[in-house]
Amino acid sequence: MIEINDLVKVFNENVAVSISSLTINKGEVVGLIGNNGAGKTTTFRLMLDLLQADAGYVNVNGIDVSKNEEWKLLTGSFIDSNFLIDFFTPDEYFTFIGKLYKLGNTEIREQLKKFEKFMNGEILNKKKYIRHFSSGNKQKIGIIGAMFINPEILILDEPFNYLDPTSQIEMKYLLQTLNAQQGTTIIISSHNLNYIHDVSSRILLLEKGVIIKDVDNRNNGNISEIYRYFGN
């Protein structure tokens, strides 16, 4: 479970995030949406302790993320290409990540097999550094690195970005499968409302760092509210 209380982040007197109270329960798939500048990425960075909050806190399973690192063993995440070690090959990168999470070589190989269709023969055994891959394949490498470790919590910022249509559909399938088979709590942001609608059990709409709508999407609930907000 993730709990956020009185969380505030300010940049140059501009409030980027102000979330008074939010609970995300185990097994939920939460879509975080909003226009550019709404505070989505800043919220993720606070949740992952990549930014220091000006007030409030984020707890993961009762652990304050700013005071203890045990939660990292439960969490897979990918925000942007800065998460990658670009002087590694993808094979080296996945091995490095796997070892951090105490996976053996055989287990790493078995886990990566789940992503063969997503990789489309373009990632493994290419003997080139990550920095030389296309933006789409870098995105895939980062997403796979976050997912193949079997995280209890998965946080992805704009996972559909840079992906071709076939890979976007496979990305949706991978998220749904991870949640259904392992009960993984998933939090993703995206500007693609259709994919958010398809994969999320709950949708949070951010505006200027504040959650202005919290929609139960399990039965297509009040999704029309979301589309009306964006003028559709």
pLDDT mean for each 10 residues of the chain (232 residues): 95 94 96 94 96 95 90 94 94 96 94 95 94 96 96 96 94 95 96 91 94 85 78 70
The CATH class of the 2-229 domain is: alpha beta
pLDDT, residue 226, reads 82
Q: What is the pLDDT of residue 188?
A: 97
Q: Which of 60, 157, 177 lies closest to 114, judged by CA?
A: 177
SS3 content of the chain, % helix, strand, coil (to 5): 40, 25, 35
92, 111, 146, 159 from 88: Cα distances, Å: 6, 19, 16, 21
Q: How far apart are CA 146 and CA 48, in angstroms?
A: 13
Strands 153-157 and 75-78: parallel
> Are the C-beta atoms of residues 124 and 91 closer than 8 Å to each other?
yes
pLDDT of residue 227: 82
